[in-house]
Amino acid sequence: MLLDSPHGCRRREGVSRDRPGRRGNGGRRRLGCRGPRRTSCGPAPHGRAETTAVSRGTAPPPASIIIATRNRPDHLEACLARLLVEAPDQAEIIVADQSDGDASERIVRGSAPDPRVRYVRCPPEGAGAARNAGCSAARSDLLLLVDDDCRVEPGWFGAWVSFMASCPRVGIAFGTVLAGPATAAGWLPAFEAPAVAVLAGRGLFLRLGEAVGMGANMAVRRTAWLAADGFDELLGPGAPFRAADDIDLAYRAARKRWQIAQTSGPQVTHVGFRADRDAGRLAETYLYGAGAAYMKHIRCGDAFAALVLGRSLSVQAVGVARNLATGRRPLGARSLPWYLIGAWRSLGQPVDGRSRRYLPRTPRRASAGAPACTSSPGGARPEGSGRTASGVRVSVCVATRNRGAAISPTLASLRRLDHDSFEVIVVDQSTDLLTEAAFRAVAEGDPRFHYVPSPTVGKSVACNIALAHAGGEVVAFTDDDCIAPHDWLTGMERTLARDPALAMVCGGITTPPGDRRQHLTTRFLPTRDRHHRSPWAVGQTFGIGGGNVAFRTQALRAAGGFDEVLGVGGPLRAAEDRDILYRLLRGGEEVMVVREPAVEHHELKETATEGRLLLGGYAFGEGAMCMKHLRLGDPAAALPMLVSGPYLRLRWGNILRLRRPTGAYILAEFVRGGMVSLRYPVDRDSRTFAPRPTGAVRRP
Q: Tens of pLDDT along 470-500?
A: 999 999 999 998 999 999 999 999 899 888 8
| 351 touches 357 (CB < 8 A) | yes
Q: Which helix (H) or strand (E) holds 351?
A: strand 351-352
How many whole angstroms separate alpha carbon 179 and alpha carbon 485?
Answer: 59
Per-domain residue ranges for the chain?
9-46+60-358, 382-607
Q: Place 532 in a pLDDT band, splitting at 50, 70 and 90.
A: confident
Alpha-carbon distance 274 to 256, whole Å? 36
Q: 602-629: per-residue pLDDT in tens?
A: 776 656 677 778 888 888 988 999 999 9
Q: Which of 37-51, 307-321, 327-341, 403-417 has the lowest mean pLDDT?
A: 37-51
If you average pLDDT over residues 87-96, what whole number do you get?
Answer: 94
Which of the four pLDDT bands, split at 50, 70 and 90, describes residue 188?
low
Alpha carbon distance 291, 269 (integer Å): 27
Q: How far is CA 85 from CA 156, 157, 426, in A?
A: 11, 10, 32
pLDDT of the residue at 372: 44
Taking only Cα atoms into account, the Rg of the chain, rounded to an integer number of angstroms, comes to 27
Task: Count other Cβ atoms within 10 Å, centred on residue 500.
Answer: 9
What average pLDDT does the segment 355-371 reach?
57
Cα dihedral 671, 674, 678, 681 in deg (nearest 10): 180
How does residue 204 score in pLDDT terms, banded at 50, 70 and 90? Answer: low
Q: Which of 3-12, 47-56, 125-134, 536-545 has the highest mean pLDDT?
A: 125-134
pLDDT tens string 442-475: 998 899 999 999 888 999 999 999 999 999 999 9
Confidence at 382, pLDDT banded by 50, 70, 90 = very low
- Check residue 606 and give its pLDDT: 58
Domains 9-46+60-358 and 382-607 share a fold: yes
Convert the pLDDT of each residue in 104-116 to its tens digit.
998 988 745 788 9
More confident residue, 155 or 32: 155
Looking at the domain covering 9-46+60-358, what would its CATH class be?
A: alpha beta
* Domain at 382-607, CATH homologous superfamily: Spore Coat Polysaccharide Biosynthesis Protein SpsA; Chain A (3.90.550.10)
pLDDT at 174: 92
Q: Pick the residue with more confidence: 79 or 445?
A: 79
**pLDDT single digits (tens) 390-442:** 458 899 999 999 988 889 999 999 999 988 889 999 999 998 889 999 999 99
Mean pLDDT (whole number) for 640-649: 60
Query: At residue 506, does pLDDT exceed 60?
Result: yes
Q: Measure the CA–CA gap between 619 and 27, rounded to whole angstroms.
A: 65
From 146-160, 166-180, 286-300, 334-348, the region with the lowest mean pLDDT: 334-348
CA-CA distance, 692 to 700, in Å (whole number)?
A: 15
Nearest one of 553, 535, 258, 514 to 423, comparing CA atoms: 553
User: Max Cα separation, the chain?
Assistant: 98
Residue 654 has pLDDT above 60, yes or no: no
* % of the chain with per-residue pLDDT over 90: 37
The better pLDDT of the pair 218, 658 is held by 218
